[in-house]
Structures are given as structure tokens and as C-alpha cells.
Amino acid sequence: MSSWRAIAMAILLVTGPTLLAGEIPSDARRSGYSFMGPDTRAMQDDDTANPGMLFVLDGEQLWKKTIGTADKACADCHGDARSSMKGVAARYPAFDKALGRPITLDQRINLCRANHQQATPLPYESRDLLALSAFVGHQSRGIPITAGDDPQLKPFVDQGRDLFMQREGQLNLACTHCHDDNFDKRLAGAPITQAQPTGYPLYRLEWQTLGSIERRLRSCMSGVRAQAYDYGSPELVALELYLMSRARGLPMETPAVRP
């Protein structure tokens, strides 16, 4: 499948007409939801049909569960997530003063586990980490994204923008070639979106599970035959920050559903 996607991408960009639009103007930015067919939209809109909601429910239970040598739950510090976590995911990645750099919501969860619950950090893409991230993210559903507003984040946003525009891999393509220049087209039958990360972690039908934006970015890198950055790397965090900052003002949808 990844080989077919890579070949299809190369054919699309070499033989198909390109928009060469550069960065998308703020007032023209659209959620990936707007590119979906009616069946996918209906699945996302109905909480009883959205498979990502199973992770949200698991995350709610994990939120209340005491863990670690501190024998504490997330709820012991943060209380009812419906109020304490409202709008939080819309601000991430956020600047961490102690580390002097931005961190993702997944990284914040693991820092809380290590520092406050004295528990082992959860592996990237593990079900429990995705569930907690989905539960926290779900509390911001419908709230506009504000990530990147902090002036301390500017150099990291710029780094993410540079990476988004940078050609890489054996196919010598950049993220911008698909998501700025060729959105509204199709690749291997799937719609090409503007890469606005409004619904992560989201349920991808191709994966048959929930996944983070880092998983999606790594998949795209593999598709252009580039060496994917490690989970949690500064490069992936910067890319996520740039994408979230350019989606500023669009409402959160966690957990979204995509093909």
C-alpha cells in the first residue's frame, strides 16, 4: 500500500496540473472533515458510530484510575475534565518553561505521569496514551484552535514551517506539494486535504484504530521515501506545532474519522 501511494503521488505531481498556490490564506483554510464523503462524515458526527469514542471512554476510566508510587489519578489534581480540560488540547503543542521548548499533549501526559504520579511514561501510540489524549482532546471539541499564540513558540513554528516546505526523500517532495498545491484532488482514491490537524488523535479507517498526528506525519515521510523522524523528536513536535498554528481558529473535532 505504501509503495502504491508513493507511485501515485509521484504521478499526480508530475503529470497532473498543480495549483502552485503556496501557503493557504487563513480565510481559505478548511478542516479535513470538509473533504470527506457523507458516510465518513456521518460516522464522525454520531458518537454511537464513531469508533474513536471507544478510546475516549477508555480515557475517561484512565483519568480516574490511581497509578504509580504516588497512588494518584489525573482527577486528583485536575478534577472534572469537562471543565478543567476544556480548551486545553486546542493550545498544544505548548511551551514548557522547564524544558525551554514546546511539548505535545502526549508528552505533557507523560510528564505528569512521571513527575506527579511517579509512574512509567506510556509508549507512543500505545492504547492508553491515545485514550488519555483522545479523552482530553474531546473536552475541547468545538473550541477554536489557539496553538502557536505564545511568542516564545515563534522560532519553533518557523522551524515547523521550514520542514513543511522542505523537499525530502527519494521522491524529492515536500508536504506543501500535496497539501497546499494539490488539495481537493485525490491520491490512490483518497481525498487530499489541507492537512489541518483539527481532530487528532483520530480514527483512520486504513489503520482500523486511533492514531496520533505523529503517526500520520511519519506515514507521509515513508510515502515519499524519506527517513521518518522518531516519535517525540523536536522535528515532529515543530511540524505539529506549525500545522496546529496554521489551523488557528478552526474548531477541534477530536476524535475525527478519516479514510
Residues known to be catalytic: 220
CA distances from 179 to 9, 37, 56, 60 (A): 12, 18, 29, 34
